[in-house]
Amino acid sequence: MAAEPRFDEAIHAPTRLRVCAMLRPLDEADFGAIARTLELSEANLSKTVRNLVELGYVTTTKQSSPQRADARQTTTVKLTSQGRAAFDAHLAALRAMAGETA
């Protein structure tokens, strides 16, 4: 079902929107995978994720990773149902503004 268009100022900022868009079709993604895929610096991504967590749009968990031989943990990022709804509505609004049909 198509989402009702609703422009969301909170996620229109480019990096926030891109992170939400990447997470949308996934259950979750490793922090490093997001940074590499979107070609973002870790500092920039870290700040963006923190902002999205404050908005309630993503959650993060730390867990031991099969990618690491040491004891350091990997941060995993997941879009919340609130974040998914906000992203879908914002995307619909962008498409409407651009004159696209869903």
Partner 1 sequence: MESDFEEPETALAALSADRERLAERYAQQPRWAVPAQALGIAAMVASPAAGVGWMSVWTAVAILGLFLVDRAVRRRTGLRVGRPAGPLGLTVLIVLIVLVVALYVVSLAISLPSAIGSGAGDGVGVAVVTAAAFLATLLGGLLYDRVYLREVRRAG
Q: Is 52 in the site for partner 1 (CB under 8 A)?
A: no
Q: Under a CB-based contact definition with an 8 Å cutoff, are residues 23 and 49 in contact?
A: no
- Tell me how far, at minimum, the Cβ of 2 lies from partner 1, in Å: 10
Binding residue (CB under 8 A) for partner 1 from 6, 24, 50, 62: 24
CA distance 77 to 99: 32
Rg over alpha carbons for the chain, rounded to the nearest Å, is 15
Q: Is 29 in the site for partner 1 (CB under 8 A)?
A: yes
How long, in residues, is the chain?
102
Binding residue (CB under 8 A) for partner 1 from 21, 75, 80, 85: 21
For residue 38, give the nearest of 71, 2, 85, 77 by alpha carbon.
77
Helix (H) or strand (E) run with residue 59 in it: strand 58-64
- Tell me how far, at minimum, the Cβ of 43 lies from partner 1, in Å: 14
Q: Is 88 in the site for partner 1 (CB under 8 A)?
A: yes
Give φ, ψ of 17 to 5 degrees: -65, -40
Interface residue list for partner 1 (CB under 8 A): 12-18, 21-22, 24-30, 32-34, 36-38, 48, 51, 65-67, 76, 87-88, 91, 94-95, 97-98, 100
